[in-house]
Amino acid sequence: MNEWYPKEKKELNEALENYLSEKISVGKNQEIHGLIVPHAGYIFSGKISGKAFSLLNPKKINKAVILGPSHYAGFYGMRALGKAETPLGKPKITGNNFQKIGYEHSVDNQIPFLQKLNQEIEILPLIVGEISTEDAEKIARQIADKEDVYIFSTDLSHFLDYDEAVKIDKKTINIIENLDFDRANEIDACGKFPLLIMMQLCRLKGWKPKLIEYKNSGDVIGEKESVVGYASFWF
């Protein structure tokens, strides 16, 4: 496999089928507007992401906007992934009015899940640089009525020991679930800026994030001296 997910179509399909197979219930007739999912290598966080993506109805998602943080370039505002190709093919990409970035794994890692659900889905892949609270509100309003589903990409705390990571991540999860704008600056996550947009979008639309699952890399591989946190939510 490559750095993030299997590079062969058959292997990737099998992995995605496995990750999406564990169905969860969020209540009868509950509409899913969006997800918050991690973007680590699939062997670390694929199952956590899969539980979230399994909530989406493939017949009802024709368009998706993905918002993830920038790991390879520093900038202010937003840019878009110029093109994408996974072992499942080339997705339909929109976003011609944005300055382009060649690659960003926080966004790219979500595309195979969407392709597996609906091969014809149209994707707006946005990379979020540094923004202010005012910017987050403005962006939320810009995207509020344009897509069928919203995918916000973030991992949680990085490289803390296991017990400290759990403590810090629980605080971040609490802030997210309660849309606690007063403590938004305490969020410990690489996707803090996309999460600010998510919080503004949920406030605007009357949605509230609900935790699906939390784990960290220590739970997955057993190494607990330096871990990375992963969580998935729906809203």
Phi first, then psi, for residue 78 (nearest 5°) are: -130, 150
- Which positions ≥6 away from 137 have C-beta within 8 Å? 200, 204
Number of structural domains found in the chain = 1
Give the pLDDT confidence of 86-135 residue by residue, as tens digits.
999 999 998 778 899 999 999 999 999 999 999 999 999 999 999 999 99
Please give the structure tokens belonging to residue 148. 């069928």
- For residue 89, being part of any structural domain is answered with yes
Residue 227 lies in a domain: no
Q: Which domain does 147 fall in, by range?
A: 31-221
Q: In this structure, is residue 98 part of a structural domain? A: yes
Distance of alpha carbon 166 from alpha carbon 172, whole angstroms = 10
Whether residue 229 is contained in a domain is answered as: no
Residue 234 maps to a domain: no
Residue 124, helix vs strand vs coil: strand
User: What pLDDT score was predicted for residue 1?
Assistant: 41
H-type helices in the chain, by residue range? Answer: 9-20, 42-53, 105-108, 111-117, 133-143, 162-177, 192-205, 217-221
Cβ atoms of 2 and 87 within 8 Å: the answer is: no
Specify the pLDDT at position 7. 95
Q: Beta-carbon neighbour count of residue 105 at 10 Å? A: 17
CATH number, domain at 87?
3.40.830.10
CA 29 distance to own-chain centroid: 23
CA distance 187 to 196: 10
Q: Which ranges of the chain have pLDDT less than 50? A: 1
